[in-house]
Structures are given as structure tokens and as C-alpha cells.
Structure 1
């Protein structure tokens, strides 16, 4: 057991977490933790299996007198997000996570901790290894590659799962019970480009939109933060004729873009108009986003003139489509006040050799609304001459505040802590929604 967790209670839970921290478990590299879990099951005489995709399922029979209770699944994922500080020599393929105690917080030395979702595995192992714990029949479901595509959940097989009740343990909010989540789908749009020679009476500029806070496109989309790609498009679509030669914005499909740069060419005579427009839009946005994005900034810098750039008509068509495309909250939930039901994140924009590309992420707790907002987004780009495709659809988990399991968990939490839990839903994809759709009757 690592020194940082020595003396923490319950002792077994923290010992198991320490053991997990010694095992590399980046997404796609779960073999070590899989062997660890199977060895644990063997040590405690528990039934265990590995399914086709690599998920581990461990079963424990009911405590004496609780045999007639229904099966309940306790679920978490084996992988972790692996990020290290700049300059760190940590090798996530072989090095253990070094745990550090900082007051009441447990952290890692120079890397991500792996609490997501290692603490869930440790908690379930503590329950499975405790002979005094009174419960009905339970099974632990440990999935693979949640962080990179929910792979284990998508490939879970009904024939291996006895439970029709499940408690997912992948959450970071104390006192909050989530009973629903959003489904999602991606739209990928591509607009073919034609490169033309740049006229000599031209100037080239780099337009940069930055200083925005960005954030998670599910958990933070309700904060109405600015999208850097949309900000850049707001300038370009209403400016003088332009030809784009470079364009880049956004990094990941589930992150609100905070930086966007576009390099383009205009006629020399239009420079005063362009500079005036950038100043005007900057002033407008400073007022609109003074609370959500006080650091929002637009800059315009002259650069070397390229030999060629994308045709004027194609450049304008594309950025007009970007400007017109929906982004942000589309609808709020009617069943759970204050929760986003449907949203869009215009996530990534690139200019490549053959085309402009856009990737957008669409979420909703109502599947028909998820598909509707995705098709509305796609229609904007279709009208502009782009080709569109739909990928990566995953189901929602519709909230049911009246479920017996919700009531049972809420009561148990209140009895244990003396506080009522918050019962809500989350505007993000969870393994719950996928497993629920894969296991009939779950």
C-alpha cells in the first residue's frame, strides 16, 4: 500500500485503490487490471468471467436470508484518462501512479489520479470481499475503454448479465443521484474546395478568436459560453470578399472551442473595412459575453501573402454555413427543471487540402430530439453544398424520478448522512444509457 493512503478508512477500500494505482490502465491497455480483478475473484471464491470485448463480470451470491432479493449490478470502468504535466517523464504503459496526500485531498504526482473510475472499482471490491456485508445477489460489471468511446458498454452482452437493476458508480458529485443522461450523435460535414491563384493587389491576415473559457460540451453547455469558431465566422460572413488559406478551431468533439484561427486574403482596398468590422464585433461580443467570457478577444495580424487560397465563393459559403449553424442549448428539460434537454456543440473546424471539415456533437435526453437537432445542423451545410454524414450515435437514459431503485437509494443516503440527496439528470453520455439499451428489462 502506498504511503499516501495509509491510515485512511475504510482500510480495504484504500488498499484496493492503491493496488489499482500501481497498474497501468490507459484506455485500451486494461489487461493488467483485468488480471488483477480475476485474481481477486479467485482469492475470494467468486464467480468471474471475461466477455468478448474484455469486460470483467464478478458475481457474489446473497448473504444468508437475502436469497430472494433481486440481482443488482454495481458498475464502473477499468480505464482512466492519462495526462501528465509538461516535462514529466512518466510512462503510462509501465509506471505506477504515485499517490500524494494534500490535506483532505488525494492527488497524483504530476499525472492524472485515475479516481475516475478507480474509486468505483475499489469500492466494489471492498463490498465483494466483506463477509459481513448483508445484501442480495450482486454482480460487478467492470467495462473497458469508457473514456475513449464507451467501448465496453456498447459491446456488453445480455447473456452474461443477471441483473435488471444497476447502480453506476462513475460520478464525482457527493450527494447527487443521477437518474438520466443524454444520448448523442456526431455530424461530420465536408465542403470540397477549389484553390485559386492569389491576386497581387491583395493582403493576407490572421484572424484569431481566443480568451474564451470553453468547457465540457455536456456538463457546461448551459453556461452559454462563446464558441471561438462561431466568433470567427461572425466576422468573416459579414466582411468583404475573402479567400481562406488556413483555418483551424476546436480540439475535441466534447469540448466547446476556445481558440480559432483563420488565415485569409482580401483585396488591399478592403483593409479599412475589415479592421473596422473586427473592432465592431469585438465591442459587441465584449458586451454579450462580459459575464461568461470576460477574456474573449479578437485579433487581426497581417501576414505573408500566400501563392494560392480557396475560391472566394466557396470561402464565403462555408463560413456563412458555420455562422448559421446552431450551437449551444436548444431546449431545456420539462421533466427536471434546470437541466438541458437538447444541445449542439460545433466542435472542430479544419481546412484540409481537398475540403473544409466540421465535426459537431449533438446531445439530448430525448432520442427524437437528438436526431432532429443533428439533421437541422446537417441541413445548413447541405444547403451550402457540403456533404454530411452521421456517426457515433449512442442512446439516452430517460429520467424516471418515480423508480423504486431511485427511492431506495435516496432513502439509504439520507439514513446514512442525515441529508437528502439531489436527484437529477446529466446532459452527458453515460454507460448507464448504453447498458440500459443493451440489456432488455434493465
Structure 2
């Protein structure tokens, strides 16, 4: 792990180094939450855990600032666990191995957890500071944001008294976010039937080397989806020689663009299969020459005695995969350059008698999201699958008259002699869910520059963290009176 002690602002980076040292992937953030509560006790700060496990820490106003409104600072505790195919990192037990590369901090072939670890570190640094001007502070640290927004869904009314909330989960310094997309998970279960294989050769076909990324922030970049590319490969191959499908597995998270996928097939001619795969690799590399320079489509013979899918099951699966919407469905007609609706065909897993497919659908407009839900459901129902839509979370509707947004805009101009960009993000933020329990709370989202979250390429710009910290602390100083 890199030594971050020389980075500024020092308190923030010290907290981030500790955060990286304690494993905290989604669904497994209890060790970090426990450490935070123990630290708060040592600092003699009032804290509590709510019924779902969120951490709330309260700090009195600094001397002379008692008249200011209470501000809620918010971050999520968990991180996305993604690693390269050659990494042996165990997210449940291993610390994040950080690397300083010029003005960027990254990790050794894993996600870094700057999303949302930097924001969380900034909240703790505010709590620890004795030289900042601020009114009363409430820090809300939610659990399981990345895998289901469990903490935000379970947040109860009445726990917070603040009138303004600053979400720290945005990923571009110089941008102020006032809205975000909502989303829903499409859980698809396709029954399959099997039979003994007749073709003599078993082989694996693998799509790898893709860049992946955040299925909201990066969906418009035209990156390859390993699941879609592998389904396309199978469709093309079976048009040239008989193949029998044994299994198909790809992706690991619904909100990460899948970087790799693998199918096991049986065929009659391994040499011909390898030639056909090489041709398809050249085709895909030509199409994705800019977005996926390291794309690799490979084939290798293996020993495999599993039964294969029947012809009917194989065709139903491959054709449904080909027909499933993926990527950007529509760009916003109201906000230039912002994705309105998208889907991510994130995870495919094969069992003995069924195949599961998991898609994440996002949209700024509920009716457009519903239309995409129905299109995906219709496709898979025609194939004989059952579909359950779960985890629906609302978008955060923009409020151009937001006082806290106007305040952040003013503070940014005063400190950086530049105009910030007022934005709506296609990724899901928790603010929309907070509005259910706290409908009158005024909210805004800011953060440092983080590139390629939800992938092993994730990195945070060190200089942007300093600017973000300046903005955050100056905002707290400028919070209006009660």
C-alpha cells in the first residue's frame, strides 16, 4: 500500500488510508462501520446505528457558529469489488493495495474504493477537525449503496434534523449535481433442458480484456459488453458449424459493465472453431478500436463431461441475449449530453436447469424506464423465461430553485474564479430515496474527479481532492443562519 501521508489535505488522506486497510465490499462493510463507531467514541462524538446498520454521527457547532443551520454530510460505506482476471485479491480479507501514479491514486488491479471512500474520508475529516468553521454537523454513512441501496431504503424519518444535505458521491470536480437517474433490476430466470452431447470436442470461448466501468457514469462511452459479445459470438459460430452449448457465465455485478465472459461448448472441429473465433476477434477489434484496444476473444479445448442444452433451449437463450437491449437507449431531450435511459446486461450465470440473467435499467424519466422494463420482459417471456423486477429506486428530480445548490455555486465561484457546471448524473445517487423520509430536505452532490469507477482501472485525481476539500469546508463556513 502506498504511503499517503505526504498528500494534502493530510487528515482526509489519512482517513482514506485507514479505509483502504479495512475490507468493506458491499454486504461486508461491518468491520469498517465498527471501526468508525469506535473512532467516534474515542472522539467523544455522539453516534448511533439505525435499524438497517447506517451510521449517524453528530458534532456540535464550532465556537461562534452555533447560529448556523444543521448540515448533513453523507457518504456510503461500501465499495464495489472488481478485480482483473489475473488478480488473486480477496476483497473479504485483503486491504486495497494503493499506487500513486503522478497526480493519480489507483490500486493494484482492483477497484480503489475512491467511490465513495474519498467522500467518507472527507466526512470523517470534518468530524475530526478542530480548526474549521461550521454549524452543527450530522454525518450519515449508509450501508450497501452499491448492491441495492439498502441503507437509503431503510433510512427512517426523524433521525436527522439537518435542513441541507451534501452528498459526497459525485465523481467530477467542478460539477454540482442536482439530480440523478432512478433504476430497477431485471431478474431473469430461463428454464433450460439438457441432453447428452453428441459432438466430440469440448472448448471454452472467452471474451476478456475489456475495460468495463460504471454502468451509469460510463455507459455512454461505447465500451464492449462481454456478455453481449459472447452471445454474438455463439450466434455467428453456430451458423458456420454445429455447436452445443454447455454453459455461459459472464459479469459479476449488475452495476458494472461486464469485462469478461466464458462459454463452454462442444463442437466437431476445434481447428475450424479457432479460425472462426480469430475472424470474429478481428471484427470486434475493428468495431471497438478506440474504446476496447485490449479486447481478446480466445478459444481452448478442455475436458468436459457435462450435458449440453437441448437445441430449443440453446436457441431460446442465444436469441434472447441477442435481442436484449443494452447500452444507451436515449439521450435527454432536456439536458444536453446527459444519458436519459440505459440498460446494462450485467450478469449471466448457468445452473443445471436454468440460466439467470441480471440487468440494471436506469432512467431520468419513470415512464421511459418502464418502457425499457417492458421491452426486456417481453423479449425474455417470448423465450420462456420468468422475470421479476426488484430494487426500484426513484430518481432525484432536479430543483433549479434549490437554495443549497445556489450556495454551492456561489462558494465555488468565489474560491475558484470559475463557473461550475450544474449537472444531472445518470448514475444512481441516494438522494432520491432520502427524499422519501425527508421530503423537505434540500440536497446537492459534489465530489473529486474519479475515473473508471466500478472497474480495476478506477483512479482518483489527487489535486482534485484538494479542490473538493476546499469547496466542502468553505460551504460549511457559508451555511446560512437558522
Q: TM-score, normalised by structure 1?
A: 0.82
Q: CA deviation at 1:188?
A: 1.7
1:195 counterpart residue number: 194
Q: Is the 8 A contact 1:395 1:433 kept in 2?
A: yes
Q: CA deviation at 1:338?
A: 0.8
RMSD: 3.8
Q: Is the 8 A contact 2:227 2:251 kept in 1?
A: yes
Cα distance in 1 for partners of 2:329, 2:369 equals: 10
Alignment partner of 1:223 is 2:221: yes
Deviations 1:26-79 (A, max 9, x none): 513221212212332x2xxx5543322232323345567766654321112344
From the CA coordinates, give the structure whose radius of gyration is larger: 1
SS in 2 for 1:323: helix
Cα distance in 1 for partners of 2:352, 2:90 equals: 36
Cα distance in 2 for partners of 1:294, 1:204 equals: 29
Structure 2 vs 1, CA of residues 392 and 137 (structure 1 numbering), >3 Å: closer, same or farther? same
Cα distance in 1 for partners of 2:325, 2:173 equals: 34
1:233 counterpart residue number: 231
Structure 2's unaligned 5+ residue stretches are: 442-482
Cα distance in 2 for partners of 1:191, 1:380 equals: 12
Cα distance in 1 for partners of 2:87, 2:298 equals: 31
Cα distance in 1 for partners of 2:417, 2:394 equals: 35
Q: Is the 8 A contact 1:213 1:293 kept in 2?
A: yes
How many pairs were matched up? 433
Q: Is the 8 A contact 2:186 2:388 kept in 1?
A: yes
SS in 1 for 2:158: helix
1:51 counterpart residue number: 50
Q: Is the 8 A contact 2:40 2:46 kept in 1?
A: no
Q: TM-score, normalised by structure 2?
A: 0.76
SS in 2 for 1:32: helix
Q: CA deviation at 1:172?
A: 3.8
Q: Is the 8 A contact 1:56 1:143 kept in 2?
A: yes
Cα distance in 1 for partners of 2:90, 2:201 equals: 46
> Which structure 2 residues correspond to residues 9-408 of structure 1 after superposition, within 5 A?
12-13=11-12, 27-29=29-31, 30-40=33-43, 42=44, 47-61=46-60, 69-80=68-79, 115-128=114-127, 133-199=132-198, 204-237=202-235, 239-240=238-239, 242-265=243-266, 281-282=280-281, 284-300=283-299, 306=305, 308-408=307-407
* Structure showing greater relative contact order (alpha-carbon pairs closer than 8 Å, 6 or more residues apart): 2
Structure 1's unaligned 5+ residue stretches are: none
Moved more, 356-365 or 3-12: 3-12
Structure 2 vs 1, CA of residues 211 and 25 (structure 1 numbering), >3 Å: closer, same or farther? closer
